[in-house]
Each structure stands twice: as structure tokens, then as C-alpha cells.
Amino acid sequence: MHLEKRVLITGGAGFIGSFLCERLLEAGATVLCLDNFFTGTRMNVAHLMGHPRFELMRHDVCFPLYVEVDEIYNMACPASPVHYQFDPVQTTKTSVHGAINMLGLAKRLKAKILQASTSEVYGDPVIHPQTEEYWGNVNPIGPRSCYDEGKRCAETLFFDYHRQHALRIKVARIFNTYGPRMHPNDGRVVSNFIVQALKGEDITLYGDGSQTRSFCYVDDLVRGLISLMETPDSVTGPINIGNPGEFTIRQLAETVIDLTGARSKLVFRPLPQDDPKQRQPDITKAREILKWEPSVELRDGLSKTIAYFDTLLADRNMKV
Ligand code: NAD
Ligand code: UDP
Ligand code: UDP
């Protein structure tokens, strides 16, 4: 007999997934965390292992899965350019085959299913800030396409299963998110800058550092995802979840230097192909429908993330 809600989190041993596991356990759910450990690690959920309502399962979402759950958060997919470009064919497979399998599972179980989509569906946007109505400006054949188009196709599958099979779907378009448990070598800007600053290395700005991003602290993001899952069935999204505070990459570098007290220099490297020039979510829908908005300021979130990496690097004797 199952009194509590059973929740499957694919990619649950990753950065965002591990916080989702934690919050849902706190809320009383039974959590099945599924991961193939491509970018996630057991370490991210080690503190949950003894929990009576927590289970960790090694599995690749590209293969069918037969379990019994009430809700599915489909988070499985490498998220940083370095990792998703390492094996781009596998990245598209994870998004597309993974979505088909998880939607098939949800269909059989009549379970609610949430997709971790991304601001990358907007590509290099010509509308600013980005609203959910914007169809995006994505290169279909570039080095970022395996991720962007894979996620776009997953959205298509979600909406077709909704229309064709009346599935209860929720699509969240997640904007750049940061916090503890980011992979130290995953190449994303926040982890790169913090690790470089703590090690006293040069801070690598790609291009001239004038491109912008809007950074959301992981606690805020996870609260938004759970609020979306709890909306009435009529709410499908897509819905932007992110922090509208927009910063240039140079401002981010300067803030990290300020907060760490590092003596690192700024150095300039070539801008990667198809790197979006600007990105800022319009979160009107999230405010109205989810009654959600982010509450953690960039400096506060960065301080917590710096403290995490400081301990991690000290443990590994990587600090100067
Ligand atoms: P992450 O790399 O830390 O987590 C992804 C997890 O998925 C990892 O644990 C990885 O091992 C697992 N995984 C990858 N391929 C898999 C497969 N085939 N089968 C099973 N597990 C697999 O990244 P994250 O930042 O926590 O991202 C989580 C989700 O949120 C991803 O879907 C990502 O696209 C989305 N997202 C993240 C951001 C962000 O800024 N972090 C922004 C937009 C969207
Ligand atoms: N699937 C799964 N678990 C289930 C049910 C389905 O992994 O409990 C997978 C299976 O691989 C299937 C896919 O989801 O091919 C899509 O399922 P659907 O029922 O939509 O289509 P099918 O391919 O079965 O006609
Ligand atoms: N970036 C940078 N230096 C780094 C890593 C990234 O200047 O060491 C830039 C990158 O070119 C992009 C921005 O920071 O313009 C955000 O990069 P990230 O990979 O974190 O996310 P995404 O490009 O997917 O939004």
C-alpha cells in the first residue's frame, strides 16, 4: 500500500536533480532517483542513501523502464556545453529517446510528467527578454544543436503525448542555474570562474565578456519546478523558470573576484560558435500561474556556491 506520493527523478544524481530529491523527501514523497552517472555522481546523493523513502537506481533513459510511480521529473541530460558536446549523438538520444520512454511510462501509469526544458530552445534570441511565445532562433546544424534541438524535439513529444494521449504534462524552460554540487570541471561559467578564483588562476572570459546571462540559484529553481508540478492539470507550460537579474559575463567575473578576494587576472579567449549574445527570462507567467519568483540575489547565491567549492577543493588539496 502506498500512502505517500511516489516520484521518479531521472538525472536525480545530477546538480539540480539532487536538490529536487532532497526537497521532495522533505515534503514526504517516496523518491526513486535514476541516473546513468554520466555527469552526476553518487556523492551528490550520498547524504540521502540511508533515507527510508529514498532509492537510487542506475539506468539510462534511452532504454525502456518499468517502475510504478505517480509523478516523473525528467531531468536526465548533460547540461553544460563541454559535456553535451562530448558525445553529441548520445545527447540527442538522451533527450529524444529518453522523452519517448518516460512519456510511454507516464502513459501506462497515467502519471504526471515534468520536462526539464531549457532557455536554449530560444537559441541566440532576437526577442529580449524571452517570453514563452517566442519560437526561438536556433541553428539546427551547429555544435550546440544536439542539445537545443534535442530539447525542442522533447517539447514536441510532450505536447503530442498531451494532445494524442491526454497525458498530464508540465514543461519548464529552465534558465542558467547555479549553486553547490555543480561539477567543478563542467565548463559552465559560474563553476569555472569560482574554481579559477579559488585556485588563483586567470579568469577566462570568452569573447569580450559583454554577452549576458541571468543566473538563478538552485533553491529558487527547485521551488519553481515543484510549484509547476503541483499546478492543476490544465497548466502544461511551457513556462520560464529563471532569475530575471541580467549580468554581463564580465560583471560576473568581477563579482566572483570581489567575493573570493582573489588576485586573478581577467584573460580573453575566443567566443565559442553560436554562443548566445544575451539571455533574460520574462517570468510574468511564473509569477501569475505559479505565484513564484526567485528570492536569492546573485551575490548571496555566489557566496554559498563559493563556500561549497572552497570545501571541495580543500578536500582534494586543489587549492593554492
Ligand atoms: P547535470 O549534468 O548535473 O545533471 C544531469 C544528470 O542526468 C546527471 O546526473 C547525468 O548523469 C544524468 N544523465 C545524463 N544522461 C543520462 C541518461 N541517458 N540516462 C540517465 N541519466 C542521465 O545537469 P543539471 O544542471 O543538473 O541539469 C539537469 C536538467 O536541467 C538537464 O535536463 C538540463 O538540460 C536542464 N537544465 C539545466 C540548466 C542549468 O543551468 N543547470 C539550464 C537549463 C536546463
Ligand atoms: N515504455 C517504458 N515503460 C513503460 C511503457 C513504455 O519505458 O512502462 C517505453 C517503451 O520503450 C515504448 C515507449 O515508452 O516504446 C513509448 O511508449 P508508447 O506506449 O507511447 O508507445 P509504443 O512504442 O509502446 O507503441
Ligand atoms: N563563459 C566564459 N568563460 C568560461 C565559461 C563560459 O566567458 O570559462 C561564457 C560562455 O561563452 C557563455 C556564458 O559564459 O557566453 C555562459 O556559459 P555557460 O556554458 O555557463 O552557459 P550557456 O552558454 O549554456 O548559457
221 lines ligand 1 (CB under 6 A): no
Query: How far away, in angstroms, is 64 Cα from ligand 3 center?
Result: 34
Rounded alpha-carbon distances, angstroms, from residue 114 to 117, 227, 305: 9, 11, 27
Sign of the dihedral through C-alpha 175, 76, 220, 41 = negative
65 lines ligand 2 (CB under 6 A): yes
210 vs 247: CA distance, rounded Å: 9
Q: Could you give all domains of the chain from N- to C-terminal order, each with its CATH number?
A: 6-179+218-243+281-295 (3.40.50.720)
Query: How far away, in angstroms, is 101 Cα from ligand 2 center?
Result: 5
104 lines ligand 2 (CB under 6 A): yes
Angle subtended by helix axes 249-260 and 189-198, to nearest 10? 30
Query: How far away, in angstroms, is 206 Cα from ligand 3 center?
Result: 7
Return the active site residues.
147
Rounded alpha-carbon distances, angstroms, from residue 22 to 149, 229, 232: 30, 16, 23
Q: pTM for the whole thing?
A: 0.96
**Nearest atom (ligand 3) to Cα of 119:** 25
**Nearest atom (ligand 2) to Cα of 65:** 7
**Nearest atom (ligand 3) to Cα of 80:** 19
Helix (H, G, I), strand (E, B) or coil at 245: coil
Mind listing the pLDDT tens digit for each residue in 145-165? 999 999 999 999 999 999 999
Residue 128: burial class (beta carbons within 10 Å; 0-12, 13-18, 19+): middle
221 vs 249: CA distance, rounded Å: 21
22 vs 102: CA distance, rounded Å: 21
- Res 274: pLDDT: 87
Query: How far away, in angstroms, is 104 Cα from ligand 2 center?
Result: 4
Helix (H, G, I), strand (E, B) or coil at 288: helix
* Spans of the chain, pLDDT less than 50: 320
- Res 320: pLDDT: 42
Residue in 95, 122, 77, 75 with CA at minimum distance from that of residue 274:
122
Q: ipTM, 2 decimals?
A: 0.97
Residue 112 — φ and ψ, nearest 5°?
A: -80, 140
Are the C-beta atoms of residues 203 and 253 closer than 8 Å to each other? Answer: yes
